[in-house]
Structure 1
């Protein structure tokens, strides 16, 4: 995930992230603000997946943008 690109479009992407990963809170997304490592950690925590799987999901999401 290109963190610079994500940071620039964060407000637009936050809604899409929330739609895909509904268990993420608004606070999670606010704190993440484009930080893919933090986001992967929160996906791991909320969904009980391995960190590698969370990163894979984020990468897949990024490719669909």
Structure 2
């Protein structure tokens, strides 16, 4: 399963992690996104001033497995959230 499919399928499980990882996203942003990955990518582009490709890379670095588990050690080690 690709990252987009996993995030959409496990959105309610991963929403808190996404919000924590991408602190520029507001509660209103999260409500608008509501599990729609294209909306999430758009908000990442808007809030972090990055291209679509960079926003996709940001999501890829979440390192979510097919069961919706996030590698929190990898998340904690990564900073800043924006692509290099």
* Coarse TM-score class (shorter-chain normalised): 0.7 to 0.9
- What TM-score results when the alignment is normalised by the length of structure 1? 0.76
Q: What's the C-alpha RMSD, in Å, of the aligned pairs?
A: 1.7
Distance, in Å, in 1 between the alignment partners of 2:29 and 2:22 is 11
Displacement over 4 Å in runs of 4+ = none
Q: Which residue of 1 aligns with 2:48?
A: 47
Q: Which residue of 1 aligns with 2:17?
A: 16
Q: Which residue of 2 aligns with 1:58?
A: 59
- What residue ranges of structure 1 are gaps of 5+ in the alignment? none
- What TM-score results when the alignment is normalised by the length of structure 2? 0.62
Larger radius of gyration: 2
